[in-house]
Amino acid sequence: MKHDFNELRLDRVTRRFAGAGGHAFNALNDLTLTVRRGEFIALLGPSGCGKSTALNCIAGLMPLSSGTIRLDDTRIDTLPPERRGFGMVFQNYALFPHMSVGKNIGFGLRMRGMAQSDAAPRVAHALRLVQLTGQEHKLPGQLSGGQQQRVAIARAIVIEPPLILMDEPLSNLDAKLRLETRSEIRRIHRELGRATIYVTHDQDEALSLADRIVVMKDGVVQQIGTPEEVYAQPANIHVARFMGYRNVIELAVTGERDGHVTLEASDMKLTGVRKLPLDGKRAAVAIRPEEITIATEPAATNVIGGRVDNVEYGGRDSLVEVVTATGTRLHVRAGGKVSTGANVFVHVPPERVLVYPSEMQ
């Protein structure tokens, strides 16, 4: 077990499961990724995309079907979890119910044969780090969910692992606690500077925590990039949809010049930016609700007329659904007051319209 490393290299890591009727399917397909020292990586994707499988493979809780994992020059994918020495935080905390908070946190040190007198200050330090000083004699069952998850984090970091793995650690917490614990995870990561791989299905969590995001779908990596890249330049329509581009519309391509594409349907005419080479006469455009503005009159280009069908009030702004003449539904975030049933025009700047190959082809 090393204390720190330069690179964790995952090379074509694949995990196959026997599916229904004896058909094997790849829960994780050729994941190739290099994690650098101190880096915070988020594995992001919908449930069933293989992100937890990837984490379990790295932790050693699940054998690989093929591929290798190397920590610098040491191959580790054949080692059992107890010899990899990575700290792991589980979705349902997985605290040992029969041990006090202090014993839980000290468990990893005890397994390493550390004397009680050496372990105690480190446990105390970990407790301070997660702001639970004074709770060490309680049983996990006496703590709230948020506190339990913080104990789980303390238990994982007290062994000073080279790599910390977190499997949707916030998904069992309520909204307020989730935000608090999120900041806490960020703070702890800054303080310890340990590489972290964080699994989540929540793009906000991934964007706010990670240095780099790995977006996955159906066991396949769709994009690896910084939060800015993934947010503003989704590599494909799946990533776009997952990163909050709620409006995905199939249109006919009418022209293409210098990376700008014009597209058309009977009730709208749009100009957008081509993100991938287009093949064929149709394409899909992706637009975020917050990039669309509601206009009162048809001024410039990229204007679509429609009727307000639904308004969800959200405080600072409202989520408005606008339906066009042919029934295409557009999701719009609007600041002003919009009433249901009103006829409106919506406008979106051409550089905010991302054009991808059609999914139908």
The site for other proteins (CB under 8 A) is made up of 59-61, 80-82, 84-88, 90, 92-98, 107-108, 111-112, 139-141, 145, 148-149, 152, 155-156, 159, 165, 172
Contacts of 180-184 spanning 24+ positions with Cβ under 8 A? 180/146, 181/146, 181/149, 181/150, 182/208, 182/209, 184/130, 184/131, 184/150, 184/153
Nearer to other proteins by Cβ, of 107 and 231: the residue is 107
d(CA 3, CA 339): 60
Residue reference for tokens 């105390």:
124
- What is the closest distance, in whole angstroms, from the C-beta atom of residue 42 to other proteins in the complex? 19
- What is the closest distance, in whole angstroms, from the C-beta atom of residue 112 to other proteins in the complex? 6
* Six token digits for residue 288: 């975020």
Nearer to other proteins by Cβ, of 56 and 236: the residue is 56
Residue reference for tokens 């000290």:
106
DSSP class of residue 315 equals S
Nearer to other proteins by Cβ, of 138 and 307: the residue is 138
- What is the closest distance, in whole angstroms, from the C-beta atom of residue 107 to other proteins in the complex? 5
d(CA 161, CA 158): 8
Nearer to other proteins by Cβ, of 139 and 220: the residue is 139
- What is the closest distance, in whole angstroms, from the C-beta atom of residue 16 to other proteins in the complex? 18
- What is the closest distance, in whole angstroms, from the C-beta atom of residue 145 to other proteins in the complex? 6
- What is the closest distance, in whole angstroms, from the C-beta atom of residue 128 to other proteins in the complex? 20
Residue reference for tokens 């090379």:
11
* Six token digits for residue 115: 């004397």
Which regions of the chain does DSSP assign to beta strands (E)?
7-18, 24-36, 40-44, 66-71, 74-75, 87-89, 163-167, 195-200, 212-217, 220-225, 247-257, 260-265, 268-274, 282-287, 293-295, 303-313, 318-323, 329-334, 343-347, 354-357
| CB 154, CB 127: distance < 8 Å | yes
Nearer to other proteins by Cβ, of 55 and 354: the residue is 55
Nearer to other proteins by Cβ, of 74 and 343: the residue is 74
- Give 209-256 as a DSSP string: H-SEEEEEETTEEEEEE-HHHHHHS-SSHHHHHHTT--EEEEEEEEEE
Nearer to other proteins by Cβ, of 47 and 339: the residue is 47
- What is the closest distance, in whole angstroms, from the C-beta atom of residue 71 to other proteins in the complex? 15
Nearer to other proteins by Cβ, of 29 and 148: the residue is 148
Secondary element (H or E) of residue 178: helix 175-192
- What is the closest distance, in whole angstroms, from the C-beta atom of residue 209 to other proteins in the complex? 21
| CB 98, CB 87: distance < 8 Å | no
Q: Which three-class secondary structure state does DSSP give residue 328?
A: coil
- What is the closest distance, in whole angstroms, from the C-beta atom of residue 93 to other proteins in the complex? 3
Give every CB contact of residue 307 below 8 A, 6+ residues apart in sequence.
322, 323, 341, 342, 343, 344
Nearer to other proteins by Cβ, of 14 and 149: the residue is 149
